[in-house]
Amino acid sequence: MKKNRPPKLPDLLARKIYKTGQTRGADDDVIYQNRVNRNSTVLIPFPNFEICKVAPDNDGAFERGYIVLIKPENYFEDPSIKQIMESRSLVLGQNALLFYETNNQWNKYNPDGLHLTYATSRTSPLGGDYIARVPSTTSENDEKKLRGFMDSGKKGAGIRIYEYASSKTIMDCQYQLEFLYWSCFDSEEISHTANMTLDEINLRRRINRTIVEERGLGNISALFEVRMLDKDGFTTCPLCLKKLSAIGFYNRLEQADGREVPDLTVTQLNLFHIRELRVGEFNHRPYNLGWGHHHCNVVTRDVGIYKTLDWMSEVLEKNVSEGYVKKETT
């Protein structure tokens, strides 16, 4: 072990924490980059520009800039669009692009006929005026049109605006998420089973605790308020509030009989946003990221914990009133 370097976490856990700094997956048919760092170039829909143009830190600047996406019909039909763009310091080909999504847009404002070129760079100048991700349609025999950022290694123009986080925020989240791992009631036992020695466990935990305190990430009361820790200081699932066992960071999901797949990589515990990711907010941040059961995360989806709890209450009340579930009385 090198001097001043903390012991390594078990590989599976280290990868899980590292990946929290990356965006979700994306395929070639969308404009988003696949599994890249959250401080990458952000894509801002034109109607959302005013509420999204300022980054949450770094003096309001996105670390790798932004690209504003404008619908062709807005650009070519709205007589005030040029004036609005000028007032917002938006210039086509510099920090803004036309975004073709439908065959109707393509046919009506054909970029080839308008002598437009597709973009090739994520930094100004963008190397073109537009980007296209138009699906094929069997009914009209229209072919798929994929233009811009399709070269190997440069696929995708940027990331979803609400997934953005600065380098510092990414690091803060990762330190706090490791702290939550060590706060699992059986983290020492499970880490030892995962081939860490007791000395390595104690040193790694002590170093993490020091960093968390220095960076203001260890407020136990605040972590309890946002449902990440219980009253005893143990890590809980933010939805069901059950204590989490550290074994869930290593164990794969159980699969239904007859429906098993050999390459399943999903573990029992996953990253959990307390307040959901949404346009106009930057919710990948400390005190908003916890660990939770995979199935609880799936149920919560993108609507958030409290809306999910309201929905679950309605479902339960309906089942009780219809006689399918008996409600205990005290």
Give dist(CA 98, CA 41) in Å, integer: 16
Q: What is the pTM of this model?
A: 0.91
Kindly report, residue by residue over 177-190, the tens digit of the pLDDT. Answer: 999 999 999 999 99
Name residues whose C-beta falls within 8 Å of residue 297's C-beta, 6 or more positions apart in sequence: 239, 270, 271, 272
**pLDDT in the model for residue 141:** 66
Residue of higher predicted confidence among 206 and 329: 206
Phi, psi of 196 (to 5 degrees): -95, 140
Give the per-residue pLDDT at 293: 95
Instruction: Specify the pLDDT at position 261.
Output: 42
| Average pLDDT of the segment spanning 137-166 | 88
How would you classify residue 287: left for phi > 0, otherwise alpha for psi between -120 and 50, otherwise beta?
Answer: left
* Domain boundaries defined on the chain: 26-163, 167-316
pLDDT of 263 reads 45
Stretch 25-42: mean pLDDT: 94
pLDDT over 90 (residue 277) = yes
d(CA 235, CA 179): 9
98 and 75 Cβ atoms separated by less than 8 Å: yes
Confidence label for 285 from pLDDT (cuts 50, 70 and 90): very high
> Is residue 260 predicted with pLDDT exceeding 80?
no
